[in-house]
């Protein structure tokens, strides 16, 4: 391990901790001023940002990086405008810090409550998209947390430029220095060093591919919130509304197939196998979806290919769908338990009892009745914003908004009570 | 690593996961029946339990273990009665599972809510006290979690007997086998193996000394909730009520000095140094408390010894107290930030603004105004029970009750909505 790098990361973590203690007490007005000033500064400095971004794009092309990756890396006018809009939206959200979520009186007269406070210092370890730099930092600031950012080396020039503008705008607004810092080195050892700073950093959120996330989980002494993948299921129940079932399946699979809340497996009750299933499959095929089916599916849908064992539980992130005919709600729930990823599952049904059972018994982070899996998203569920989705059950489970970037402390108001 | 041990722990973890999926859906009535039957069975089998306990005590004496440890290890009639009482109390608590903590409607008509569900499988790694075996298992059962227990090797015979009775009573009541299991080996490698079962075990709670807890934190791939120590402060403000200040300081220090929520450092505003401070010190000395003071304290209290640098931040767990005179609330808060352990701090004051500032700005897990630090406890705060105290900010911060052994999933009730 590089000694200098190790000292540098430790110095940054200490600075973040000191800054976070000051930030925790800062007013909502001041944090909002910093967010809005960042939006103005990014808007004003568009040419400089795109110049820095061009260096990243050039290096990426020289390395022969795939077109999709290049696209994610590009700070187009549209991406920059969206970043600015995002900052304004976060400024408009309610500040969770200081909220007393509950308060009760004890028999001895003590008034006991739980008050929301920032977590402290959050480390975000992510891959190519430079807009994550601004989105994540904005949510951390609003929730009163200092942030250590470690973006991918492909975006290093863009990230440096963005963090430079942010730090300047924040300090100008009166936010203490050290609240946003970029670990600006291509050295992978920097990630390992970050993961050791458990006396200064309170939470690590990795965002990226499964291998990045596994690396972080295996090497971190700091709590990590993450999801590896989204293998989302839709179960079409016996007697489901035909039009609704088709609409939800088409939306869940094709509205944006490359994201984690898209449907990857369709389960259909056998009573619907002869009639509704072929209709759903043909609607999906019209939109270019490749079907990989169980034997019962294949009998009704001759063009489909046979699903192999690896298809159950596969996250295609593409216009591919595995389809299985099941005999009962129980079989559907068992299948989800066995092959699901605790992300998002939906039932399409008209039956009250089975809707209630599905809601109660499926313990994925988001469980829906008669709605598309695509709603499993912080904005869509009404959290106002999203810093990620957790499929770990600790602290946060499902889409995470500002509230999930806070914790609660107990506050107790007494009148001189002592313990007997 | 012992291959057999490794396979055995993996088998237990898998069994716990399977059992937890069934347990999650079990009714409150059934869980309560199992708890009450356990109390009856422990009461009936008192002689057999004490026989098993005698083997542990004999081995402990042969190893020359300290009297205090022997005391903690003993299953006296009183300890057994308290265990039975504890089981009845847990049965009487409200079941957190299934509670919908909030529900809201989205503009598109979706009804979105958060429902409490069990965490899944909880691993408890603890030291000598065999009553923890029953207390912890009862809380896990009531909150719908399967539990893997790993007690200290000193209590192995007692723990085997207790878990044997529990497993029998639970299965008799209809709880699936595998919901309570004991890792019954003295081999320390078993702990390492437990900490690797991240696909089956959702949470680890270590209970014991700081070295055990550090070992667990450094070796776990599973999220850990823990506290290392409690260095609790009381700050006596300028103008505080004299009798209240004395009463709270005496209670916080002497009511039970060996526990984590006892006061370890007293901070006193300089305006009270000449009058109130000597009174507090003399009240504490009358109860046998040794005082280690700052120079300003020593000037007013000649019998005290000088505090060394190591006294600030020390957890004495004994009738010893460090005392410091400070110039302001700010200095008190800075001292707490620097030397505290995020556990519990109290202010004694008559001033509204300073009370509010202390509550807001001190981010320890429990912050009190005009009350003893000894109230930082799950029962005292009204949680009904306590499985431990967390000073990690993730998931739970402060005393943890049944609710902290659950997580929430999003539930969504739609009428066919799809995403645009």
Whether B168 and B23 share a structural domain = yes
- Domain contains A221: yes
Whether A369 and A272 share a structural domain = yes
Which residues, other chains included, contact B120 with Cβ-Cβ below 8 Å and sequence gap of 6+? A393, B17, B20, B24, B145, B146, B201, B202, B203
Residue of chain A whose Cα is closest to the Cα of B409: A365
Pairing of strands B121-126, B406-417: unpaired
Residue of chain A whose Cα is closest to the Cα of B100: A360
Residue of chain B whose Cα is closest to the Cα of A381: B112
- Domain contains A118: yes
Which residues, other chains included, contact B223 with Cβ-Cβ below 8 Å and sequence gap of 6+? A223, A224, A392, A394, B202, B203, B204, B394, B395
What pLDDT, on the 0 to 100 scale, is given for residue B187?
Answer: 84
Domains: count for chain B = 2
The continuous run of DSSP H or E covering A146 comes out as strand A146-150
- Which candidate from A217, A218, A416 shows the least CB-CB separation from B244? A416
| DSSP class of B167 | H
Chain A closest CA to B371's CA: distance in Å? Answer: 5
Whether A273 and A137 share a structural domain = no
- C-alpha distances (whole Å) from A12 to each of A6, A23, A177, A220 are 10, 16, 11, 17
pLDDT tens-place values along chain A, 420 residues long: 578 999 999 999 999 999 999 999 999 999 999 999 999 999 999 999 999 999 999 999 999 988 888 988 999 999 999 999 999 999 999 999 999 999 999 999 999 999 999 999 999 999 878 989 999 999 999 999 999 999 999 999 999 999 999 999 999 999 999 999 999 887 889 999 999 999 999 999 999 888 889 899 888 888 898 888 899 999 999 999 999 999 999 999 999 999 999 999 999 999 999 999 999 999 999 999 999 999 999 999 888 999 999 999 999 999 999 999 999 999 999 999 999 999 999 999 999 999 999 999 999 999 999 999 999 999 999 998 899 899 989 999 999 999 999 999 999 999 999 999
- The SS3 assignment for A36 reads helix
- Domain contains A390: no
CATH of the domain at B309: 3.40.309.10
List, as own/partner pairs, every contact residues A72-79 make where C-beta atoms lie below 8 angstroms and the sequence separation is at least 24, other chains included: A72/A128, A72/A129, A73/A128, A73/A129, A73/A130, A73/A154, A73/A155, A73/A158, A75/A49, A75/A50, A75/A130, A75/A131, A75/A158, A77/A46, A79/A131
- Domain contains B167: yes
Whether B199 and B140 share a structural domain = yes
- Domain contains B165: yes
Inspect the interface and report whether the beta carbons of B417 and A375 lie closer than 8 Å: yes
Please state the rounded mean pLDDT for residues B57-77: 91
Whether B197 and B103 share a structural domain = yes
* ipTM of the complex model: 0.93
- Which candidate from B198, B218, B407 shows the least CB-CB separation from A393? B407
Domain that holds residue A136: 3-226+399-411
- Domain contains A394: no
- Domain contains B397: no
Whether A272 and A219 share a structural domain = no
Whether A36 and A58 share a structural domain = yes
Whether A266 and A198 share a structural domain = no
Give contacts of A 277-336 with B, CB under 8 A: none
Inspect the interface and report whether the beta carbons of A359 and B115 lie closer than 8 Å: yes
What pLDDT, on the 0 to 100 scale, is given for residue A1?
Answer: 55
Give contacts of A 369-398 with B, CB under 8 A: 369-372, 374-376, 380-382, 392-395, 397-398
Tokens of B254: 């002497």
Whether A222 and A236 share a structural domain = no
- Domain contains A180: yes
Most A CBs within 10 Å, among B394, B397, B408, B415, to test the A interface: B394
Q: Give the Cβ contact number of residue A76 at 10 Å.
A: 11
In tens, the pLDDT along B194-223 reads 999 999 999 999 998 888 898 998 898 888
Whether B266 and B167 share a structural domain = no
Tokens of B294: 């700052």
Whether B208 and B339 share a structural domain = no
Give contacts of B 140-199 with A, CB under 8 A: 198
The band of B185, judged by pLDDT with boundaries at 50, 70 and 90, is confident
pTM reported for the whole predicted model:
0.92
In tens, the pLDDT along B7-45 reads 999 999 999 999 999 999 999 999 999 999 999 999 999
Whether B328 and B369 share a structural domain = yes
Pairing of strands A398-400, A100-105: unpaired
CATH of the domain at A168: 3.40.605.10
Inspect the interface and report whether the beta carbons of A359 and B120 lie closer than 8 Å: no
The band of B2, judged by pLDDT with boundaries at 50, 70 and 90, is confident
Most A CBs within 10 Å, among B259, B344, B410, B413, to test the A interface: B410
Most B CBs within 10 Å, among A363, A366, A398, to test the B interface: A363
- C-alpha distances (whole Å) from B278 to each of A31, A321, B370 are 45, 77, 20
Q: Is B365 on the interface with A (CB under 8 A)?
A: yes
């Amino acid at each position: 391990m590089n000694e200098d790098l190790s000292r540098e990361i430790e110095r940054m973590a200490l600075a973040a901790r000191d800054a976070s203690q000051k930030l925790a007490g800062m007013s909502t007005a001041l944090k909002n001023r910093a967010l809005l000033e960042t939006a103005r500064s990014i808007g004003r400095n568009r040419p400089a940002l795109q110049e820095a971004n061009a260096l990243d794009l050039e290096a990426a092309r020289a390395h022969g990086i795939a077109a999709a990756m290049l696209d994610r890396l590009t700070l187009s006018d549209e991406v920059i405008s969206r970043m600015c809009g995002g900052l304004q939206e976060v400024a408009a959200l309610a500040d969770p810090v200081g909220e007393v979520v509950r308060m009760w009186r004890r028999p001895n007269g003590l008034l006991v409550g739980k008050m929301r406070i920032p977590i402290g210092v959050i480390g975000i370890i992510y891959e190519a998209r430079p807009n994550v730099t601004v989105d994540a930092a904005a949510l951390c600031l609003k929730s009163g947390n200092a942030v250590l950012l470690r973006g991918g080396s492909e975006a290093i020039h863009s990230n440096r430029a963005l963090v430079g503008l942010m730090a300047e705008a924040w300090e100008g607004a009166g936010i203490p220095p050290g609240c946003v810092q970029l670990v600006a080195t291509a050295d992978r050892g920097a990630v390992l060093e970050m993961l050791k700073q458990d006396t200064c950093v309170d939470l690590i959120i990795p965002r990226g591919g499964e291998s990045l996330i596994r690396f972080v989980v295996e090497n971190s002494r700091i709590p990590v919130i993450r999801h590896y993948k989204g293998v989302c299921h839709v179960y079409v129940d016996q007697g489901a509304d035909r039009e609704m079932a088709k609409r939800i399946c088409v939306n869940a699979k094709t509205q944006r197939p490359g994201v984690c809340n898209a449907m990857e497996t369709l389960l259909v009750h056998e009573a619907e196998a002869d009639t509704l299933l072929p209709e759903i499959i043909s609607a999906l095929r019209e939109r270019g979806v490749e079907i990989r089916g169980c034997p019962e599916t294949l009998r009704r849908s001759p063009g489909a290919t046979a699903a192999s064992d690896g298809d159950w539980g596969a996250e295609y992130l593409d216009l591919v769908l595995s389809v299985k005919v099941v005999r009962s709600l129980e079989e559907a729930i068992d299948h989800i338990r066995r092959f699901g990823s605790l992300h998002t599952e939906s039932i399409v049904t008209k039956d009250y009892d089975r809707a209630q059972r599905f809601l109660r018994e499926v313990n994925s982070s988001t469980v829906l009745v008669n709605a598309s899996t695509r709603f499993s998203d912080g904005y869509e569920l009404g959290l106002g914003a999203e810093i990620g989705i957790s499929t770990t059950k600790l602290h946060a489970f499902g889409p995470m908004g500002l509230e999930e970037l806070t914790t609660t402390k107990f506050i107790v108001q007494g009148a001189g009570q002592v313990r007997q």
